[in-house]
Amino acid sequence: MKKSYLYGLAGLVVVAGVTVAVVLSGKKSDGGANGQASATTGGFTAHLKNACDILTQSVAKDVLGADAIKGTGVGDTEANDVKVTTCNYTSAANQTSMELLVRAAESKTQADNNAAQFDGKVNVPGYGDKAYWDASMGEFNILEHGNWYILSNGTLRPADHTQADGQKFADAIKSSL
């Protein structure tokens, strides 16, 4: 049982790494803390968010259970007017995990690029400006203030995640977006 948990956890880390690689398409790491801030340039107001400021220990315990343990991220990155941060937690008792990836737009161009990812998707009302469930990735996606939030929550196998799992996570953080 412990061995399967470790394999599941390793799988989660791989999925997180692949997700960041796909989202960034080869962008480099900045190695620094991103924090939360707002900045206005050229009429666009950036709402910069850090994943671990949104996915806190308290949120993780509410969603996963009292034994939620913070994992090690894949590293924050910044390039081409976008900051990407990740945060994740696991529960050994429930064999579940959750991860938040924030793709924070620093420019109108990047906000538009983030918004374009929601085109043609079935909107799930009640979450941000737009939201959709991606069953193939087991992820719930939210667009808010030009930022793209990718939420993963459920068993250690993302293929087994449900929209209800994603929405439970989204409900716990939507006031922080």
pLDDT in tens, 89-132: 999 999 999 999 999 999 999 999 999 999 999 999 999 999 99
Q: Is 70 helix (H, G, I), strand (E, B) or coil?
A: strand
Strand boundaries in 5-164, DSSP class E:
37-41, 44-48, 69-70, 77-79, 82-91, 96-105, 130-134, 139-144, 147-155
Q: How confident is the model at residue 2 (pLDDT cuts 50, 70, 90)?
A: very low
pLDDT, greater one: 27 or 157:
157
**Integer-rounded Cα radius of gyration of the chain:** 15
State both tokens at 120: 């043609």
State both tokens at 153: 């929550």
pLDDT reported for residue 68: 96
Q: How buried is residue 161: exposed, middle or buried, by Cβ count under 10 Å (0-12/13-18/19+)?
A: buried
pLDDT reported for residue 39: 60
pLDDT reported for residue 17: 41
Q: How many domains does the chain have?
A: 1
The tens digit of pLDDT for each residue in 29-85 reads 333 333 445 566 566 888 889 999 999 999 999 999 999 999 987 778 988 899 999
pLDDT reported for residue 136: 94
Which amino acid, one-letter code, is at 16?
A
pLDDT reported for residue 142: 98
> In 149-158, which positions are buried (b, 16+ CB within 10 angstroms) versus exposed (e)?
bbbbbbbbeb
Range of the domain at 9: 2-176
